[in-house]
Amino acid sequence: MVQISEVKDEQQSSSRESRTSAHTHIKGLGLTEQGTAKPMEGGFIGQVEAREACGIIVDLIKSKKMSGKAILIAGPPATGKTALALAISQELGPKVPFCPIVGSELYSAELKKTSNLMENFRRAIGLRIKETKEVYEGEVIELTPEETENPLGSYGKTINHVIVGLKTAKGSKTLRLDPIIYESLQKERVTIGDVIYIEANTGSVKRVGRSDTFATEFDLEAEEYVPLPKGEVHKKKEIVQDVTLHDLDVANSRPQGGQDVLSMMGQLLKPKKTEITDKLRAEVNKVVAKYIDQGVAELVPGVLFIDEVNMLDLELFTYLNRALESPIAPIVVLASNRGLTKVRGSDDDDKKAPHGCPPDLIDRLLIIRTLPYVGRCIGEIIRTWCQYFFTLCVTIIDTCWGVEYQCWTFGNNYSRHRRM
């Protein structure tokens, strides 16, 4: 049976975040309602023609007129090709997946290159699942595990149940929960003052954030503060879960063994990086289509950005053509800084193609050209970065001074208390 659950690949997500961290200032294409680009808007400076062309492509995508086509952003290095691709995904919506890769990443010793390409295709396709569930939601005001003697007669104690007190703006309630839920609370690192919700049917725990009543003026921790929930503690709530098709493939490719020693050892010894078969992807697609027909889920096509597309060979280009014709496909954005160059894997060594792409793929592409920055734009970029770093340094100094002042005040109060 195919299951739908959220799986986070920590290693993969960290590499994606580190690559897009240089473009966190990009908030969109910076266009007016008429589709013209502002000189400085959305994190962009210059590249007016390329941004306006991307705006036209966003309109084509929203009107569902981009089927079977892809986008190629061509230009010299450091002209904002990755930033334009990220801006396209942000113009499509705040929760649209953005999957950036480099052409050389598709060559791996563990996976076939075509399977690696399809894996990134599935990672760029999101699924938004909406469910109405009975939940207990509130701020944790009590968290007390109650222990009992081990029934097996060995040394030590076991947790019999856990007492959790939840508070909302309308009231509070104390719950007696199963010890399995206590393990979920420990995995989420729930402490007193956190806002959580517990599903009544499954018992799964989700930590929403820290209650904003604990927010201080100077806080060095990257903590997310949320307001105190409204309404009763026990309520019906619509849960929205965003996953990708690759998450579903990974969740259903893992061994589903029992709790005995042999099954657990088999799961540990199974290689972490396994190739997902087309049969499994087809089964996942059937379940996804069923959920979409029932109105429970919604498909969110994202943006797959492939930089240095000239690194792909003829086999990958052929597979890319096939993937673009799939009924479930993301928006594919290619980038290249090459002109006429040889297509990798082709038999004719003397024949060159634009950007290293075969002619049948070129016919599918909408090409956007980026231009090198001129002196005025370079001056504006340097001035903007200087302002940003100056503001950042002032914020860090103010924060450190505030923490030092708090420590000094605490030390004086502690010394005064000792003298008394």
List C-alpha distances in Å: 321 to 283, 324, 325, 344. Answer: 23, 5, 7, 16
Provide the pLDDT for residue 111.
81
| 162 close to 140: Cβ distance less than 8 angstroms | no
Average pLDDT over residues 119-127: 91
Provide the pLDDT for residue 13.
40
List C-alpha distances in Å: 372 to 28, 338, 375, 402. Answer: 20, 14, 10, 44
How far is residue 99's CA from residue 94's CA, in Å, rounded to a whole number? Answer: 14
**Residue 84: band (very low, low, confident or very high) from pLDDT cuts 50, 70, 90:** very high
How far is residue 129's CA from residue 248's CA, in Å, rounded to a whole number? Answer: 12
- 175 compared with 398, residue with greater pLDDT: 175
**Residue 15: band (very low, low, confident or very high) from pLDDT cuts 50, 70, 90:** very low
pLDDT in tens, 136-152: 899 999 888 887 776 66
Cα–Cα nearest to 355, from 321, 316, 311 = 311
pLDDT in tens, 366-419: 999 998 887 777 777 777 778 777 777 877 777 766 655 555 555 555 455 555
Average pLDDT over residues 354-376: 88
Instruction: Round the average pLDDT of the chain to a whole number and report it.
Output: 80
- 278 compared with 420, residue with greater pLDDT: 278
pLDDT in tens, 299-317: 888 999 999 999 999 999 9
Given a cut of 70, whether residue 9 has pLDDT beyond it is no
What stretches of 63-123 show up as alpha helix (H) in DSSP? 81-92, 113-123
Q: Helix crossing, 245-253 with 278-293: angle to 10°?
A: 120
